């Protein structure tokens, strides 16, 4: 059996990750603005932990990786399970297992993460996380990389439990414009099971926002407008109010990589055609919904 403590100490020291990154005070390094912060050595160090989580804790399965074409792609996912988002970590692990850390890849992450969870965000930066904005995404593609994006953001990862089998982009279409401008195929990545690692009762953001505005109360979550305000049952809180970090309880997770999606028109003009962007977005959503529904039926059977 793996001695996780020994592995942690040796792995962190040999890879050059400073313990300060994880437990010390936040630094000005690794803020998600630079493509140069990605470190393959850090990724290699994390692989055994991801493997243990994939094989044992979540007993995960995945398929469809053979469908990812050579060259650059825009990976579009739907993530689940609160801020822990275990399916996201397992998908990254499978990408690295199939293609290795030398196939350049970056993931777009909400800028608030560097304020709310600075230690996690700084480590994620070394894995390839960059702030979610079009300038950095375009720079990643110009460098020859592929990019991973979860359009639904916090509203997706904390959507109510009864919506766990639904693809939800929260009305965002920027990822479509990015694909059209860069002329890369979209590769859908969906998962089932991660949204059972906690139980989201509902999203009460509008009520919380009203209290915030009427009473002048600060947002208790690091003073940041969280854009979602779930009430959920999960570890370690029991009953959690707001988008608090969670520890996922174990539940089997299934991941599926869908067929690449290409469009008939590309370029700036296509990206500026809002009707066309909406049409492309709906096509991607339908393809991902079909894959997610198939996963849910197979898993529940």
| Domain assignment present for 165 | yes
For the sheet with 105-109, list strands across it: 61-63, 254-257, 186-192, 74-77, 146-149, 105-109, 129-131
Using CA atoms, how far residue 203 sits from 30, 127, 148, 160, 245, in Å, is: 31, 30, 25, 7, 15
| Domain assignment present for 104 | yes
Domain of 147, in residue numbers = 24-199+249-300
In a structure prediction context, what are the per-residue pLDDT tens digits for the chain, which is 301 residues long?
334 333 333 344 434 444 445 545 666 789 999 999 999 999 999 999 999 999 999 999 999 999 999 999 999 999 999 999 999 999 999 999 999 999 999 999 999 999 889 999 999 999 999 999 999 999 999 999 999 999 999 999 999 999 999 999 999 999 999 999 999 999 999 999 999 999 999 999 999 888 888 877 777 666 788 899 999 999 999 999 999 999 999 999 999 999 999 999 999 999 999 999 999 999 999 999 999 999 999 988 7
Q: What is the CATH number of the domain that holds 171?
A: 3.40.1130
| Domain assignment present for 239 | no
| Domain assignment present for 213 | no
Q: What's the structural domain count of the chain?
A: 1
Is the separation of the CB atoms in 257 and 67 below 8 Å? yes
Site of tokens 């414009």? 177
| Domain assignment present for 230 | no
Using CA atoms, how far residue 80 sits from 107, 112, 166, 214, 248, in Å, is: 16, 18, 11, 32, 10
Distance of CA 168 to the CA centre of its chain: 13
| Domain assignment present for 50 | yes
What local confidence, expressed as pLDDT, does residue 21 receive?
52
| Domain assignment present for 90 | yes
| Domain assignment present for 123 | yes
């Amino acid at each position: 059996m793996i001695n996780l403590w020994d592995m942690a100490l040796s792995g962190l020291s040999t890879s050059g990750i400073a313990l300060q990154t994880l437990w010390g005070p936040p630094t000005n390094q690794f803020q998600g603005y630079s493509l140069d912060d990605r470190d393959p050595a850090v990724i290699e160090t994390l692989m055994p932990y991801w493997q243990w989580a994939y094989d044992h804790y979540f007993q995960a399965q995945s398929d469809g990786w053979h469908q990812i074409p050579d060259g650059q792609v825009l990976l579009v996912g739907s993530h689940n399970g609160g801020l822990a988002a275990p399916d996201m970590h397992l998908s990254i692990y499978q990408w690295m297992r199939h293609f290795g850390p030398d196939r350049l890849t970056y993931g777009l992450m909400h800028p608030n993460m560097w304020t709310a969870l600075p230690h996690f965000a700084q480590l994620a930066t070394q894995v390839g996380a960059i702030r979610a904005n079009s300038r950095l995404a375009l720079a990643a593609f110009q460098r020859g990389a592929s990019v991973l994006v979860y359009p639904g953001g916090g509203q997706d990862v904390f959507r109510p439990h009864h919506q766990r089998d639904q693809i939800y982009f929260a009305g965002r279409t920027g990822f479509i414009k990015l694909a059209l401008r860069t002329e890369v195929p979209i590769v859908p990545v969906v998962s089932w099971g991660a949204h059972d690692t906690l139980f989201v009762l509902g999203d009460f953001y509008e009520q919380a926002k009203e209290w915030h505005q009427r009473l002048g109360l600060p947002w208790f979550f690091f003073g940041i407008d969280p854009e979602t305000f779930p009430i959920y049952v999960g570890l370690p809180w029991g009953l959690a109010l707001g988008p608090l970090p969670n520890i996922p309880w174990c539940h089997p997770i299934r991941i599926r990589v869908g067929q690449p999606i290409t469009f008939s028109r590309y370029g700036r003009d296509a990206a500026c055609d809002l009707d066309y962007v909406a049409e492309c977005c709906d096509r991607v959503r339908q393809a991902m919904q079909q894959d997610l529904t198939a996963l849910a039926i197979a898993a529940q059977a």
